[in-house]
Amino acid sequence: MLPCSGERSLQDHVGNSTSTMAVVARPETATSLVSGLQLRQYPIEAIEKYAVSRTPSVNVSPQNDRADRYQAVILGAGVSGLCMGRALLAAGITSFVIIEKSKGIGGTWWDNAYPGAECDVPAHLYSYSFYQNPDWSQTYAPQSEIQKYLARFAEKFDLLPRIRFNTVLTEARFDSQRGLWRLQLAKGEYLSCNFFICSAGPLSEPRYPDIPGIDTFKGHLFHSARWDHHYPFEGKRVAVIGTAASAVQLIPCIAPLVANLYVCQRSPAWIIPRINHGYVSWIKTLFRFKLFARVHRFLLYLIHELNRLAFNPGSVMAKLASKLAEMHLRRLVPDKRLREALRPDYPFGCKRVLLSNNYYPALMRSNVELVTSLVARIDSSGIMTSDGQRRKVDAIVCATGFDIRHTLSSMPVAGLNGYTLGEAWGEEPEAYRGVTVAGFPNFFILLGPNTGQGHTSAILFIEVQVNYALQCIQELIKREKRFLTVNPDAMNRYNEELQKKLVASVWSAGCRSWYKTESGKIIGIYPGFSFQYIRELRRPNFQDYFIR
């Protein structure tokens, strides 16, 4: 189940003044302590150095001088990258390119083509507000339909000629002397641009399990996000490591094919019914009427906003949701011992809530075994669990999610004075309103840190982030300036308030999830409703930015 709610995210959210910030904050004010979580200090000295003297921080090589020049470069041709491209064109900004490492459109919807892949948000909500699709086949759209929808979007808004497929970014550096980003590509090419928009998203880098011996396995091993459609599962012994979003979708599809299926569970998930139905032709006809489509989408939006109340610990909605999940478990799993192994021991919502009607029945099959002991080691022909048991397998499927912490920080993205995102973030990514990062001028992240949602569509967040980034770009062009970067104090204040809300939330209730870092800091979730985030990003507060 792909997180259409944007928990990604990796997985994953002001005022109206337009005056320029002229006073640089002192270094000692940029560090705050919130409930034991240290918010790191950002390179104020580098910002101050640029603001005062405009000394160059990056040496520009002759190769870089021959770079293809654009006003903007967008990284990624997924949902957010395409939305950004359309917004630039609508604003009259035509000098841009979208670089995409895959050979097709869709981002996560191109990569995640495993059997049973579907969105976990209704399709009429998981679509652009300005480009509705009346022809969805069912409530929760399958991966192939979403990918085709995005391809049609790119064609309709004339984005295809602006996309460079099979193009990998290896380095991005900001040249403060010229106010340009210098990008190096894997093929040896160079690009330069005034604005660099990262829309790679949190679901772009598969995370493999850190299990001793995984490299020694001589069978077939692959990640669910890199599905091998040519592998014959019939009659094979297969282990699936992980029981989260993608696993609960693919396991029911391969269970009838294999001889033995070992489902390796670290901790169970809360699972609720998936109310899915197909759309007949006359319903699709109704969706062609704009008023009907808008009212339907708005009702879906309201329902999903109400779902956010289920993540308030102790609330009536949380109790009702827990009871619904328990009833679902009891109805589909009559075996008491198996039921106990599938019952979470943490509050509803602490980890991602899943929707499935066929995962529990798949576990009831005679050829399927739920393995609750941790996989301690992998050897050349099987898996060894912590209870000492060894199971021979022909294939291992890693349904272990994505590396949301290192998607960008592992790639050399250097801002002022060569300061990299890896140095700025370490293991704990953070940004101002999830979009901009102190010390990284003219750099915008879509679906950045703390912008995931467990209750609604990620596209609601994407559209407002795109509009926010566009307003920043337009403001800089209007003022005829070259430099915009968020004040470190403003970013730290924002994250301080965010963490105050998060440390008291259900997401810090003690479970282990991809929402958190090893230290316990929550980096994947926005704690409020989507309408709150939309209101926060409606207009940039340029008093929170240095503009030079």
Q: Go through the domains of the chain in sequence order and give each one's CATH number.
A: 27-106+132-205+404-547 (3.50.50.60), 214-275+296-398 (3.50.50.60)
Q: What is the pLDDT of residue 59?
A: 37
Largest CA distance in the chain: 72
Q: Spell out a b/e string for 23-45, using b for 16 or more CB atoms within 10 Å of the CB, else e.
A: ebbeeeebebebeebebbbbbbe
Residue whose entry in the numeric block shows the structure tokens 């459609």: 229
Q: What is the pLDDT of residue 345?
A: 93
Query: What distance in Å separates the CA atoms of residue 491 and residue 425, rounded to the nearest whole number?
Result: 13
Give the three-class secondary structure for 449. coil
Residue whose entry in the numeric block shows the structure tokens 């191109």: 110
Query: What distance in Å separates the CA atoms of residue 245 and residue 514, rounded to the nearest whole number?
Result: 12
CB neighbours of residue 216 within 10 Å: 11
Chunk the chain into consecutive blocks of 10 residues (it has 548) and report each block's average pLDDT, rounded to whole numbers: 50 31 30 32 47 35 66 97 98 97 94 96 97 97 98 98 96 93 95 95 81 96 96 98 95 98 96 96 97 97 95 93 97 96 94 96 98 97 96 97 70 89 88 96 95 93 98 96 94 95 88 81 92 96 95
Q: What is the pLDDT of residue 203?
A: 66
Q: What is the pLDDT of residue 25?
A: 30
Q: What is the pLDDT of residue 22?
A: 29
Query: What distance in Å separates the CA atoms of residue 491 and residue 422, rounded to the nearest whole number?
Result: 17
Closest to 7 (Cα-Cα) out of 454, 441, 379, 380:
454
- What tokens appear for 401 in the block? 């999610």
Q: What is the pLDDT of residue 183?
A: 97
DSSP summary character for residue 349: T
Q: Is the dihedral of CA 424, 425, 430, 436 positive or negative?
A: positive
Residue whose entry in the numeric block shows the structure tokens 């596209």: 459
Residues linked to residue 323 through DSSP beta bridges, in sequence order: none
Query: What distance in Å separates the CA atoms of residue 171 and residue 189, rounded to the nearest whole number?
Result: 11
Closest to 221 (Cα-Cα) out of 389, 384, 382:
382
Q: What is the pLDDT of residue 518?
A: 80
DSSP summary character for residue 506: G
Give the three-class secondary structure for 361. helix
Closest to 430 (Cα-Cα) out of 354, 497, 528:
497
DSSP summary character for residue 326: H
pTM of this prediction?
0.88
CA 384, distance to chain mean position in Å, is 32
